[in-house]
Amino acid sequence: MSGEGKVVCVTGASGYIASWLVKQLLQLGYTVKATVRDPNDPKKTEHLLALDGAKERLHFFKASLLEEGSFDFAVDGCDGVFHTASPVLLSSNADVVDPALKGTLNVLRSCAKSSIYQKAVALNGKPLTPDVTVDETWFSDPAFCEKSKLWYMLGKTLAEEAAWKFSKENRINMVAINPGMVIGPLLQPTLNESVEPILNLVKGVPCETNGWVDVRDVAKAHIQESENPTACGRYCLVERVVNHFGIFKILHGLYPDLNPPKEYSEEKASELTCRVSEEKAQSLGITYIPLEVSLKDNVESLKEKNLINA
Ligand SMILES: NC(=O)c1ccc[n+]([C@@H]2O[C@H](COP(=O)([O-])OP(=O)(O)OC[C@H]3O[C@@H](n4cnc5c(N)ncnc54)[C@H](OP(=O)(O)O)[C@@H]3O)[C@@H](O)[C@H]2O)c1
């Protein structure tokens, strides 16, 4: 097993993506130091404690993004740090900017090696059309995010910018993972904001056009990048860019009783949007789980946890 004898830290370990990351790390034999804000809250820890290998190799640490130095203990002695903790509130106000920005720097100050998840690529005001390919050279524009009141995206963009600067100045080996909208089955017992758009689609509420990627691939990419000595820079992860009519079309194929969203048409469902480059993700050895599988597994896991009646 590739992780035997290695110790890594996962910040915000009870989250949607981090829970899959912890699961895959334990499967590979890693010892995981997991940070949560409240280690005594069973909703945050029970699903992780039930994972194979958790009894022997999973350790919880209390840490909060806005408390300086609170990650020191968890990061100390680690071979790598996966920084996923961040308030994920797509419908947020400006209050989310500080935890994302200051919190990332706070974690980096405790770090030797860090990996960061971001939503910091495509929002620069350039129109996204079928002839456009978004790739790792794209950075969201903080001024555009602020003007558009996209506070979550602003926080993530500023956090990534500051993290690159800090890691260069302090010779920290940093890699950024930039997934699109993450979907797929949940391990944690509660809903997070990024799963809500799927729930809304099942209820017929529209959502924005997005690049979609499976949570299991996001976790896997993180581990592949950390185990690959030549990995560097940023990695965009998107299986497909599809608008909400296209997502409904796939869901309807799986669940024929679903009612279409307003103004749905086959034509609109197959409207082309931009592409996202796959080259760097492929260099990590990622072969994406198809969107159809991610959507089905997502809905089935929501049903299993009684979070949806589809
Ligand atoms: N989901 C997506 O579609 C998506 C797409 C692109 C990028 N990302 C990025 O991926 C990362 C994980 O996202 P996710 O969807 O897995 O989110 P999530 O399920 O909401 O998990 C985020 C975790 O961050 C922790 N957190 C929030 N505020 C904190 C604070 N002030 N101090 C310490 N911990 C705090 C929470 O930990 P507690 O359990 O302690 O409350 C939570 O478990 C985030 O950085 C997000 O921006 C997500």
Q: Which pLDDT value is given to residue 91?
A: 58
Question: For residue 92, is pLDDT > 70?
Answer: no
Cβ atoms within 10 Å, residue 256: 7
The pair phi, psi for residue 221, each rounded to 5°, is: -60, -40
- Pairing relation of β-strands 173-179 and 210-214? unpaired
Ligand 1 centroid–CA 302 distance in Å is 19
pLDDT tens-digit series, residues 280-289: 999 999 999 9
Span 258-279, average pLDDT: 86
Ligand 1 centroid–CA 98 distance in Å is 14
What atom of ligand 1 comes closest to residue 35's alpha carbon? 40
Question: For residue 250, is pLDDT > 90?
Answer: yes
Which distant-in-sequence residues (6+ apart) come within 8 Å of 245 by Cβ?
261, 264, 265, 268, 269, 271
Pocket test for ligand 1, best of 10, 17, 198 (most atoms within 8 A of CB): 17
pLDDT tens-digit series, residues 159-176: 888 888 988 888 888 899
Token readout for 289 is: 């789980």
Q: Which pLDDT value is given to residue 133?
A: 83
d(CA 16, CA 176) in angstroms, rounded, equals 18
Q: Considering only 122-126, 212-216, 305-309, which range has the smallest mean pLDDT?
A: 122-126
d(CA 194, CA 205) in angstroms, rounded, equals 14
Percent of the chain whose pLDDT exceeds 90: 47
Question: For residue 122, is pLDDT > 70?
Answer: no
Percent of the chain whose pLDDT exceeds 70: 91
Q: Is 181 in the pocket of ligand 1 (CB under 6 A)?
A: yes
Pocket test for ligand 1, best of 14, 20, 88 (most atoms within 8 A of CB): 88
Q: Is 65 in the pocket of ligand 1 (CB under 6 A)?
A: yes
Q: Which pLDDT value is given to residue 1?
A: 79
Span 191-210, average pLDDT: 74
Q: Which domains does the chain have, with CATH numbers?
A: 7-123+132-183+214-239+275-288 (3.40.50.720)
- CA 179 distance to own-chain centroid: 6
d(CA 287, CA 302) in angstroms, rounded, equals 25
Highest-scoring range by mean pLDDT, 109-123, 136-150, 190-204: 136-150
- CA 81 distance to own-chain centroid: 15
Write the DSSP assignment of the chain as a string of letters: -TTTT-EEEEETTTSHHHHHHHHHHHHTT-EEEEEES-TT-HHHHHHHHTSTTHHHHEEEEE--TTSTTTTHHHHTT-SEEEE------TT--GGGHHHHHHHHHHHHHT-SEEEEE---SS-SS----TT-EE-TT----HHHHHHTT-HHHHHHHHHHHHHHHHHHHTT-EEEEEEESEEES---SSS--TTTHHHHHHHTT-----EEEEEHHHHHHHHHHHHH-TT--EEEEE-SEEE-HHHHHHHHHHH-TTPPPPTT--HHHHT----EE--HHHHHTT--PPPHHHHHHHHHHHHHHTTS---
Q: Which pLDDT value is given to residue 243?
A: 86
Q: Is 184 in the pocket of ligand 1 (CB under 6 A)?
A: no
Question: For residue 124, is pLDDT > 60?
Answer: no
- Pairing relation of β-strands 80-83 and 7-11? parallel
What atom of ligand 1 comes closest to residue 85's alpha carbon? 24
pLDDT tens-digit series, residues 221-249: 999 999 998 999 999 999 999 988 899 89
Q: Which pLDDT value is given to residue 262?
A: 83
Q: Considering only 69-78, 120-129, 187-196, which range has the smallest mean pLDDT?
A: 120-129
Pocket test for ligand 1, best of 84, 97, 181, 195 (most atoms within 8 A of CB): 84
Question: For residue 219, is pLDDT > 90?
Answer: yes
- pLDDT band with cut points at 50, 70 and 90 for residue 119: very low
Question: For residue 114, is pLDDT > 70?
Answer: no
Span 26-47, average pLDDT: 96
Residue nearest (by alpha carbon) to ligand 1 atom 9? 117
